[in-house]
Amino acid sequence: MDFPVNSFILETTFSKSVPITTSFHVMPDARLIQTNGGDILISIKNQGWKFQCKNQDVKIENSLYFAEKEKVLETTCIVVEGTLKQEINKITWSLEKTN
């Protein structure tokens, strides 16, 4: 099943540019690879997925997963960085199954 293109809209009342960061957290057993084109390939439980985000900087960062009360696991997350330049901003992203 493919996911449709998704987006979220951010509104600001600031009169200047405002930097933003949005994180998409993944399970610890997922493996992330960034392509030369900036897409993120996700491998989890013999499934492949592709994350894309238009007109924004995308990268992979280390993260923590709080699995249980006394158990913390290292993992990674997808980070989208950008700048709000208008009163209303639309950030468009997609998650597509590749196999």
Tell me, what's the pLDDT at 87? 66
Q: What is the pTM of this model?
A: 0.79
Tell me, what's the pLDDT at 3? 42
Q: List pLDDT tens digits, range 34-84.
A: 999 999 999 999 999 999 988 789 999 999 998 777 888 999 999 999 887
- What are the boundaries of each domain within the chain? 6-97
Task: Determine the Cα angle at 51 with ends 47 and 54, to 5°.
Answer: 165
Q: List pLDDT tens digits, range 82-91.
A: 887 766 677 7
Tell me, what's the pLDDT at 1? 36
Q: Are 18 and 83 in contact (CB under 8 A)?
A: yes
* Other Cβ atoms within 10 Å of 52 Cβ, number: 17
